Chain A
Amino acid sequence: MTLRHWQRIAWIYHIAFAGAVIWPVQAFVNTPDPFVLGLPRQMAWAAFWVLGSLFVLWRLDAARARTDDA
């Protein structure tokens, strides 16, 4: 995928992230069990989105590096 694709994905991802951790979406992910790695599900949900950000921004930067090299 090109730099432009990853830029678009990064924007969409972080808007989705903001939507997923506030009302009303978060209200649907609001029971602590089943625990995930011992953590309440809402806490694991937040950690999942944080880690996803790391992945998306890393791929975006890799796409930028490829574009700069070309």
Chain B
Amino acid sequence: MDKSTVITFIIFAYLAVTLGVGIVAGRRASRSVQGFVAGDRDFGLLVMYFITGATVFSAFAFLGGPGWAYSRGAAAFYILTYGVLGMAPWYAMGPKAAALGRRFGFVTQAQLLVGRFPSRALSAVMALLTLAAFVPYVTIQMRGAGIVIEAVTDGAVPLAAGAALAYGIVLLYVLTSGVSAVGWTNTFQGVFMVGIAWALGIYLPNRLYGGVGPMFEQILANRPELLSLPGLDGSGEPWSWGAYSTAILASAIGLTMWPHLFMKAFTARSDATIRRTVILFPTFQLFLIPVFLIGFAGVMFPESPEQSDFILPFLILRSDLPALVVGLFCAGALSASMSTGDALLHGAASVAVQDGVQPFRSLTDRGQRLLMRMLVVAVGAVAYLFALVERFSLVDLLLASYGIIAQFMPSLLSAMYWKRATTTGVVWGLVAGSAVSVFFFRFPELKPFGMHEGILGLVVHVPVLLIVSLLGKAQDPEHVNRYVNV
């Protein structure tokens, strides 16, 4: 068999196994909204570990991470730090959110918030902001899948067709099996992507430079600016400390608040499962080390890809690797893309129906599941269109999404921990913070010290929430205690 046949065979075998795992997984779940959205609250440690890790680490980590290490050097290290900082608060928050979910029947983040702060407008705003943040995030995943397939087939399968193929499979298993498919496919994909990343991260520096140490010695001698923090910006100029530091903080806060991750607290079998998932998360986080090594391996390579996000497939194809290794790499990268994309599509549809529609028009259980399935397809279609036309770097798009999602943090913390918070305070805080975040995203040249727009939004959000809440009438203590004293 020639090389391209072997690669194509491995890709199709991987996609077939993923589809099979996804469809079989759904047989265990009940045919209800709780089964489709929260997996009947029955995920154990293995699935929770991989659903968390594989959902967090996406095409952004697998392709954008090496792309940043290659083109922006030490700036990429911010990605290594924020994951654990964002996940650690879940050790305390996760079991509390799960307990509230069990008590009140919540399956989404906004339901928890609106339970404490009754407001249909708040529910709709949360749904809109979530969708606004999810679409670019799904776009990244689709584009990542398309990039990989286009690169390994040397353009024979263009980005548009590759993304359509990978996400056609995702749609099939999410529509069939809901979150159960997301959980079990992520377990399969998580094992795959971590294994491939470590294997390539050690192999490529050894093959190209004789080892990791010699690789960095050569980079230090020839491109020392790449090994000095805060690294470089997108145009190759030195990045600012303000931008680097606030990228870490905004991303950590955003990670804690991502609705598709937050919702997984409602899927866990027990509080111990959530806590152990958080404890084990750093082991998943360290998979970024080989990912960066792959990117750095491209720095002294004699040729360059057209875009930095292509560096990983570019190196793989020019390192004269066996077809089997190239095919497995391709499957690993597709795993990274699809394992996040499926959770996002499922989360977007669940949030849109539960938080955007249900508060305004009550649907039957069957009606909700039908609408969710229709929205999975609709969100996928919109993201696909963006994937074909957008020109931004994968990481830049993701950073913009984190700015919006970071605004959920003060509201959710208030719902679970602050007795004096009021509905008006939460709504005004959310509106003010989001407006500031969007303003600075639109006019980046006005950002003080290059700070991340999400952090600038929070600088306005938190005081508005505090002041408006304290000036208003406190909520009924009995109602508040049912949320805060869990």
**Interface residues, chain A, CB within 8 Å of chain B?**
10, 14, 17-18, 21-24, 26-27, 30-33, 35, 37-40, 42-43, 46-47, 49-51, 53-54, 57-58, 60-61, 64
Contacts and interface: CB of A to CB of B under 8 A. Distances in A.
Given A14-B88, A53-B282, A39 B229 contact: no
A54 B252 contact: no
Contact of A18 (B77, B85, B224, B229): B85
Interface stretch (B109-117, B164-172, B212-220, B302-310): B212-220
8 contacts: A26-B229, A39-B212, A42-B229, A46-B77, A47-B289, A51-B282, A51-B286, A61-B275
Contacts of A18: 85, 248-249, 252
Interface in B238-290: 241-242, 244-245, 248-249, 252, 275-276, 278-280, 282-283, 285-286, 289
Nearest to A25: B245
B279 A54 contact: yes
B84 A35 contact: no
A47 B283 CA distance: 10
B227 A40 contact: yes
A4 to B, nearest CB: 13
Nearest to B242: A23
B240 to A, nearest CB: 9
Given A26-B229, A42-B229, A46-B77, A58 B245 contact: no
A40 B215 CA distance: 11
B85 A14 contact: yes
Of the listed residues A30, A37, A47, the one surrounded by the most CB atoms of chain B closer than 10 A to its CB is A47
Contacts of B292: 43
Contacts of B230: 23
Interface of B: 74, 77-78, 80-81, 83-85, 88, 91, 211-213, 215-217, 220, 224, 227-230, 241-242, 244-245, 248-249, 252, 275-276, 278-280, 282-283, 285-286, 289, 292
B238 to A, nearest CB: 12
A38 B88 contact: no
A54 B242 contact: no
A51 B284 CA distance: 11
Contact of B91 (A27, A42, A57): A57
Contacts of B215: 38
Contact of A40 (B74, B83, B249, B286): B74
Given A22-B245, A61-B276, A50 B80 contact: yes
A46 B80 contact: yes
A57 B419 CA distance: 28
A23 B239 CA distance: 13
A17 B84 contact: yes
B278 A32 contact: no
A6 to B, nearest CB: 11
B241 A27 contact: yes
B211 A38 contact: yes
Given A27-B241, A57-B91, A46 B81 contact: yes
Given A33-B220, A39-B289, A17 B213 contact: no
Given A43-B289, A47-B289, A32 B81 contact: no
Nearest to B85: A18
Given A38-B211, A40-B216, A51-B282, A17 B85 contact: yes
A42 B74 contact: yes
B295 to A, nearest CB: 12
Contacts of A33: 220
A10 to B, nearest CB: 7
Nearest to A59: B279
Contact of A23 (B83, B220, B244, B280): B244
Given A30-B229, A54-B279, A58-B279, A38 B241 contact: no
A60 B276 CA distance: 11
A38 B212 contact: yes
Given A22-B244, A47-B286, A50-B285, A57 B85 contact: no
A32 B286 contact: no
A43 B389 CA distance: 35
Nearest to A26: B229
Of the listed residues A32, A37, A39, A54, the one surrounded by the most CB atoms of chain B closer than 10 A to its CB is A32
Contacts of A61: 275-276, 279
Given A40-B227, A57-B279, 17 more contacts: A17-B81, A17-B84, A21-B77, A21-B78, A21-B81, A22-B241, A22-B249, A27-B229, A30-B228, A35-B217, A38-B216, A39-B212, A46-B77, A46-B81, A50-B81, A50-B286, A53-B88
